[in-house]
Chains A and B, each alone.
Chain A
Amino acid sequence: MLIRIDPASDVALFEQIAGSIRASTITGTLAIGERLPSARDLAEALDINVHTVLRAYQVLRDEGLVDLRPGRGAIVTARASGDYDALNAAVSTVIAEARKLEIAPSALAALIRETYQ
């Protein structure tokens, strides 16, 4: 699973992490039963506070996307894998169009975020 965070962004770090993980479950790179890295491990990897990662994992647990058990870590649940084929195809189309128009990834992301909200 690929995680991107931008400390300069307006979006809270834990929300950025949760967003990256949600995206990975949608594209299918995080399959059902896949174990997420331990919170400590991910915190070290991104050089952030472990509580930030834990908060992200708790958000995902509350959404039912992961199972969070002490000692077992966070495991992706069946809930996380819906039928996302159409969505993934639509995303590819949007990205292809954005590339054609030479729109930067950050601009595209901002566009989607603002339209969605």
Chain B
Amino acid sequence: MKMLTIDDSAVVRKIIAAAVVALGHECLEAESAQDALSLLEGPEKIELIFLDWNMPGMNGLEFLKTIKKNDQFKHIPVVMVTTENMPESVIEAVKAGVTHYITKPFSIEELMKKIIESLGGEVN
């Protein structure tokens, strides 16, 4: 299964990619929302997206709203991974269609749990 992590921090992309690979999946990386849109429109079939909120150019919330309006991509679950930890931010993201919300800092265990849950699995 192919997943996509979108974050302007290379370190965060590597952390998420390592968790995805550890769970037996493949992880593509995009350092901006614009690059991510190009990837989505390409041949790769993306089945889960990890999305930062604060990025130069199009921010994560704008990206989320964009793909949720697109019939081709709106079914893809999105996990927001962000330092935006205020309740109003979480509510705004949920209203926009985010599947799960992880605030930074996070543990690798929490990240893996959200990946499994996003794919419809159960976590003990």
Report if A and B associate in a common complex.
no
Binding site for A on B (CB under 8 A): none
**Residues in A lying within 8 Å of B, measured CB to CB:** none
